[in-house]
Amino acid sequence: MSNIRERAESETKGHSIMNTHGERAAWFLGGAGVCPPVAAPAGKIYRLLLLGPPGSGKGTQAEHLKEALNACHLSMGDIFRAAQELDEEDRTPAMREALSAMSEGRLVADATVIALLRERVRCVACPGGFLLDGFPRTLAQAHALEGILREQRLDLTAVLYYDAPHEDIVRRISGRLTCRQCKSVYHLEHNPPPSPGKCGVCGGELYRRPDDQPEAVWVRLRAYERSTAPLVAYYEERGLLRTIPAVGKPGEVFERTRKCLGL
């Protein structure tokens, strides 16, 4: 049994989904994963899309929202990481195609990404609601999601767009330093190492990853803006978009999110 399967299954044994978010089994494994039964919450059910450029703090906000709403955090990035860890026999055809594209340096086709989500339609239909992160990335994916929700007779609550000045994002990401030996992560502003250039855990050399170099971050941000602008317009036209300034401390951003959702 692969490590990812063991981890996913262990999260669902002997616990309720509300305190361990055992949705991970079905989300990691697709059709082979089974979640424990989930009762609909007594209050409002939230089905949210999370948008935001790299470095906007979207992942941190997702964790806060997961706890506040008792909703499943469904990250497409987790599926790609799970596919890499799964044994070959546990991978679905869509997983194999996604890994093939990634290994060859190709973008994963819309059809493949949509197939990955369709394998997990039970997660989308979870009675506890969801926080969908990393999907859709294109208009084709947005249209596919709209069709899936229509089939399930579900509606989106809102699309949360975490917006931050690009200069702030570049500073956040390019300030990260990683230890070559133990992989501990520091930040020049928020979590500086005790000694310049040296890891406080193992004494190893600290370095800035190539994709964290300022020039690389700017390239990623421009690519993200090109791909996301149509999505922002698409959901704005449907009255679903909620833009949240992602500046300040994570707690401050979450307070804006709470007010936006009326929590």
Q: How confident is the model at residue 37 (pLDDT cuts 50, 70, 90)?
A: low
Catalytic residue check, 58:
yes
Q: Residue 176 catalytic?
A: yes
Q: Provide the CB-side half-sphere exposure for 9 (13 A, CA).
A: 8
Q: pTM for this structure? A: 0.78
Domain ranges of the chain: 3-164+241-261
Active site residue 209: yes
- d(CA 259, CA 21) in angstroms, rounded, equals 24
pLDDT for 261? 92
Instruction: Extract the tokens encoding 76.
Output: 């497409």
Tell me how far apart the alpha carbons of residues 11 and 137 are, in angstroms, rounded to a whole number. Answer: 29
Best CA proximity match to 257, nearest among 133, 158, 128: 158
Is 96 one of the annotated active-site residues of the chain?
no
Torsion of CA 248, 249, 252, 253, to 10 degrees: 70
Among residues 96, 117, 112, which one has the least CA distance to residue 27? 117
**What's the start-to-end Cα distance of the chain, in Å?**
42
Q: Please give the mean pLDDT across all residues of the chain.
A: 83
Domain spanning 3-164+241-261: which CATH class is it, in words? alpha beta
Q: Residue 238 catalytic?
A: no
Catalytic option among 5, 24, 58, 120: 58
DSSP strand E in the chain: where? 47-51, 72-75, 130-133, 158-163, 176-179, 185-187, 206-207, 241-245
When pLDDT is averaged across residues 28-33 and rounded to a whole number, the result is 63
> Catalytic one among 24, 47, 91, 137?
137
Confidence of residue 240 (pLDDT cuts 50, 70, 90): very high
